[in-house]
C-alpha cells in the first residue's frame, strides 16, 4: 500500500468555482502534513501546512481527520493562476522522510 | 536570502556514465534531502543527510550515493546510469527539530539519460 494516495484528477473547473482535493495516508503515527503546489516543470512549493484543528489561508482551507487518516484541501473562488498540480505530503514519524502523493492536476478555465 | 540552489540545471548523459549533482541549502538549514521525480509522479525520497551523516535512505539501488559537507551543502552521485534514471532530481533543505518544518526545494536538475 502506498504511504500517500491522491486522486490524480484532472480537475477542470471554471473560474470562481470551489474545488476540493482529498488524500489518505497509511501510517497512523504520522505527525506532520502539508500541501505543496507544483507548476509544470518547476519545483514543488509549500502551499500550506495542515494542522489538526484545520487552517485557512485566504481562499485555501486545509483539514486533517486523524481518525480516518484523511487530508483535504479546499480552494474557493478559483483563479486562473491556481492551475497547477497539488501534492499531498506526509512526514514520516521519524521525521527524516517526506512521502508525496502522485499529485492532483487542476486546470481553471476562463 | 538565497533559497536552495542546485547545479547544474540540465544534464544529458549516456547509459553507463556517472553523474554528480550539487545542492546548497538555505542558510541555517542543516538537513538536506534528495528526491527523484519522474513525469506524472510525486517526488520519491532518495536520501536525507544531517550533520554530514546519512539519516534516511529510500528504496534506491546502491548506484545512488550522496554526501554532505561541513558547510551543509550536498552532492548526489549516480553511477552506471540507466535510461530509467532520467528524471527531475530535487534537493530540499529543512530545519531539524520542528515537527511542522516543511521542505524547501531547489529548482531541480533535469537529467536525461540517452
Give the residue among A108, A110, A102 at the shortest CA–CA distance from A38: A102
Task: Give B7's strand partners.
Answer: B22
For the cut 80, the answer to whether the pLDDT of residue A101 exceeds it is yes
Residue A96: pLDDT band (50, 70, 90) is confident
Inter-chain CB proximity A43 and B102 less than 8 Å: no
Q: Give the pLDDT of residue B96.
A: 73
Which residues in chain B have their CB less than 8 angstroms from residue A49's CB?
100, 102
Substitution target in B9, B26, B34, B42 with the highest count of A β-carbons within 10 Å is B42
| B57 touching A (Cβ < 8 Å) | no
Give the residue among A39, A31, A60 at the shortest CA–CA distance from A48: A60
Q: What is the DSSP string of B66-111?
A: EEE-TTS-EEEEE-S--GGG-EEEEEEEE-SS-TTPPPEE---EEE
Q: Give the pLDDT of residue B97.
A: 60
pLDDT in single tens digits along all 114 residues of chain B: 679 999 999 999 999 999 999 999 999 999 999 999 999 899 999 999 998 899 999 999 999 999 999 999 999 999 999 999 999 999 999 987 656 789 999 999 999 999
Residue with cell 489518505: A24
Cα–Cα distance measured from residue A15 to residue A109, given in angstroms and rounded to the nearest whole number: 6
Q: What is the pLDDT of residues A49-89, one digit of tens each?
A: 999 888 999 999 999 999 999 999 999 999 999 999 999 99
Amino acid at each position: 500500500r502506498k504511504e500517500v494516495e491522491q486522486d490524480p484528477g484532472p480537475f477542470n473547473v471554471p473560474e470562481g468555482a470551489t474545488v476540493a482535493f482529498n488524500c489518505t495516508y497509511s501510517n497512523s503515527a504520522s505527525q506532520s502534513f502539508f500541501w505543496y503546489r507544483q507548476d509544470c516543470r518547476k519545483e514543488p512549493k509549500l502551499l500550506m501546512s495542515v494542522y489538526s484543528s484545520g487552517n485557512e489561508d485566504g481562499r485555501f482551507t486545509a483539514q486533517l481527520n486523524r481518525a480516518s487518516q484523511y487530508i483535504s484541501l479546499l480552494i474557493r473562488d478559483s483563479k486562473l493562476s491556481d492551475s497547477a498540480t497539488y501534492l499531498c505530503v506526509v512526514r514520516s514519524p521519524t521525521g527524516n522522510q517526506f512521502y508525496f502523493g502522485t499529485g492532483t492536476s487542476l486546470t481553471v478555465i476562463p | 536570502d538565497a533559497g536552495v540552489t542546485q547545479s547544474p540545471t540540465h544534464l544529458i548523459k549516456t547509459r553507463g556514465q556517472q553523474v554528480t549533482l550539487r545542492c546548497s541549502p538555505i542558510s541555517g538549514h542543516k538537513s538536506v534531502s534528495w528526491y527523484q521525480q519522474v513525469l506524472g509522479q510525486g517526488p520519491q525520497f532518495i536520501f536525507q543527510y544531517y550533520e554530514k551523516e546519512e539519516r534516511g535512505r529510500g528504496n534506491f539501488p546502491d548506484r545512488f550515493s550522496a554526501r554532505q559537507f561541513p558547510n551543509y551543502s550536498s552532492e548526489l552521485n549516480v553511477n552506471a546510469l540507466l535510461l530509467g534514471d532520467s528524471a527531475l532530481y530535487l534537493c530540499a533543505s529543512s530545519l531539524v527539530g520542528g515537527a511542522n518544518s516543511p521542505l524547501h526545494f531547489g529548482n531541480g536538475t533535469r537529467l536525461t539519460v540517452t
